[in-house]
């Protein structure tokens, strides 16, 4: 068997304890007649099997856990080859030739039959590792769709009849999804660690579609047009979605993500107390092949808050140009984002240059090239939303009774909005 120390492009894999332990046992299996070698191999193989089972629980894997683990290593390894392949693919060149050298080693590891290790590990134990059945359909690290795609890739690699076919399956995966956490996940949040800002995956996202949001067709169209221009490499603007509470601003952003994820769109959510980390976050994503929306939900500032100055510098005005693969989308109940007082515009406040003060407060909103308004629906629009949601959820109430109850509900629960309509439907479903 080829040594993993000969890996070139995927060289980091040789530092993986599970891979190293299993490969060492495979290599030393010819010397099992030596009791000391056999005892050492038993410790390594049982330790590796333990990690494979733990990994299956975390990711929701099944069938051949060793092949799943190797596949996970391939789809998570960010190197010069995999980042060149992400979203775009690669068909020729020296880099591909170097990767093919590594794929030969991976393919040999992939095809290994653990039953050959019967002296070090009971044959039935090896059978269970190669034909593992998970307890349930859950996994903590990925959503089911990505988990299933990784398992599907594992099966394809196992059935590959040539090294060329093996490489094609891997490259196709990189082209479709990407590599590493930025490729396998849709959405991220920012955490601050000892080494600075960290981009952390969000694994549980509401799967909402634009069609699920009843009404606001012109607003959704405007948002879609801007996002598609961005994805197609055309000029696009930062977006501010503003308006009344519960009208679908945040849901529209989530729906945009779900719609365009497979075209390379990713979203990073950041809060205003983290704006000082914006430059660090952008530095980590600017050279990747994905398109990133930095998402700020419910954005507004009180008069004493100055974090907006960081945001202004990032959007426009800093020395470094904002990368072409980054846009900023924000939602807010305020059109101008920063709280203003009547005294800012009338009378004497003690500020000699009061016009400059007003302009300072308005300048942030002005840096969003596209502003989209989401207003509270009129009564008829609200009733239309209720009727559509009721039909989708199989609620068979008489229409008159349904709308009467809906209007009563909104009077006592925050007024007319898409959110109120959904809460009313949830209430009816809870009563069934």
In the predicted model, is pLDDT for residue 289 greater than 80?
yes
Contact yes or no for 157/165 (Cβ under 8 A)? no
Between 117 and 232, the higher pLDDT residue: 232
pLDDT by residue (tens digit) across 183-214? 889 999 999 877 888 999 988 777 788 887 88
pLDDT at 199: 94
Q: Measure the CA–CA gap between 180 and 89, rounded to whole angstroms.
A: 15
Kindly report whether the global pTM for this prediction surpasses the value 0.85.
Answer: no
**Max avg pLDDT among 12-21, 107-116, 301-310, 350-359:** 12-21
Q: 316 pLDDT exceeds 70? A: no
Domain boundaries, the chain: 4-184, 187-374, 379-431
Counting residues of the chain whose pLDDT is more than 70, the rounded percentage is: 85
Instruction: Please state which of the ranges 1-15, 266-280, 359-373, 387-401 shows the lowest mean pLDDT.
Output: 359-373
pLDDT at 97: 94
Between residues 283 and 205, which one has the greater pLDDT?
283
For residue 144, what pLDDT is reported?
79
Is residue 234's pLDDT more than 50?
Answer: yes
State mean pLDDT over 142-158.
Answer: 88
Question: What pLDDT, on the 0 to 100 scale, is given for residue 141?
Answer: 63
Answer yes or no: is pLDDT of 325 > 80.
yes
For residue 203, the model assigns a pLDDT of 81
CA 382 vs CA 222, 376, 379, 385: distances in Å = 22, 9, 5, 5
The helix-helix angle for 17-28 and 94-110 (nearest 10°) equals: 60
pLDDT band at 103; cut points 50, 70, 90: very high
Q: What is the pLDDT of residue 358?
A: 47
Lowest mean pLDDT among 63-72, 219-228, 369-378: 369-378
Q: What is the mean pLDDT of residues 55-80?
A: 93
As a whole number, mean pLDDT of residues 151-170 equals 94
The CATH number fitting domain 187-374, selected from 3.30.450.40, 3.40.50.300, 3.30.1330.10, 3.50.30.10 = 3.40.50.300
pLDDT at position 10: 96
CA distance 12 to 333: 47
pLDDT band at 33 (very low <50, low <70, confident <90, very high): confident
Residue 285 is predicted with a pLDDT of: 93
Q: Quick one: pLDDT at residue 363?
A: 62
Average pLDDT over all residues of the chain: 84
pLDDT of 342 reads 46
What pLDDT score was predicted for residue 100? Answer: 95
Confirm if 110 and 70 have CB atoms less than 8 A apart: yes
Lowest mean pLDDT among 20-24, 154-158, 346-350, 389-393: 346-350
């Amino acid at each position: 068997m080829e040594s993993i120390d000969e890996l070139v492009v995927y060289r980091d894999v040789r530092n993986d304890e599970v891979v190293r332990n299993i490969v060492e046992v495979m290599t030393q299996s010819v010397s099992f007649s030596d009791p000391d070698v056999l005892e050492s191999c038993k410790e390594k193989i049982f330790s590796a099997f333990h990690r494979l089972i733990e990994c299956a629980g975390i990711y929701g894997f099944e069938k051949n856990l060793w092949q799943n683990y190797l596949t996970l290593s391939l789809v998570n390894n960010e190197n010069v080859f995999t980042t060149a392949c992400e979203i775009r693919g690669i068909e020729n060149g020296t880099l591909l030739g170097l990767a093919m050298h590594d794929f030969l080693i991976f393919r040999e590891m992939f095809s290994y039959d653990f039953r050959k290790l019967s002296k070090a590990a009971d044959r039935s134990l090896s059978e269970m590792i190669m034909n593992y059945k998970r307890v349930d359909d859950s996994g903590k690290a990925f959503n089911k769709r990505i988990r299933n795609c990784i398992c599907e890739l594992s099966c394809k690699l196992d059935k590959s009849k040539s090294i060329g076919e093996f490489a094609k399956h891997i490259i196709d995966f990189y082209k479709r999804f990407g590599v590493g956490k930025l490729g396998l996940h849709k959405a991220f949040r920012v955490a601050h660690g000892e080494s600075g800002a960290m981009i952390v995956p969000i694994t549980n996202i509401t799967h909402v579609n634009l069609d699920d949001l009843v009404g606001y067709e012109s607003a959704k169209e405007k948002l879609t047009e801007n996002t598609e221009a961005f994805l197609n490499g055309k000029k696009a603007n930062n977006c501010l979605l503003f308006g009344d509470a519960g009208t679908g601003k945040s849901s529209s952003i989530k729906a945009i993500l779900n719609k365009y994820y497979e075209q390379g769109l990713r979203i990073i959510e950041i809060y205003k107390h983290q704006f000082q980390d914006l430059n660090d976050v952008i530095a980590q994503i600017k050279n990747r092949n994905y398109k990133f929306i930095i998402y700020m939900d419910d954005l507004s500032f009180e008069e004493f808050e100055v974090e907006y100055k960081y945001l202004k510098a990032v959007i426009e005005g800093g020395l470094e140009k904002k990368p072409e693969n980054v846009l900023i989308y924000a939602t807010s109940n305020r059109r101008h984002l920063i709280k203003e007082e009547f005294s800012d515009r009338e009378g004497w406040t003690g500020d000699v240059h009061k016009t400059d003060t007003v302009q300072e407060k308005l300048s942030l909103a002005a840096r969003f090239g596209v502003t989209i308004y989401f207003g509270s629906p009129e009564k008829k629009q609200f009733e239309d939303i209720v009727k559509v949601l009721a039909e989708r959820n199989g609620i068979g109430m008489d229409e008159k009774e349904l709308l009467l109850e809906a209007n009563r509900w909104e009077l006592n629960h925050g007024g007319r909005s898409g959110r109120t309509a959904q809460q009313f439907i949830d209430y009816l479903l809870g009563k069934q």
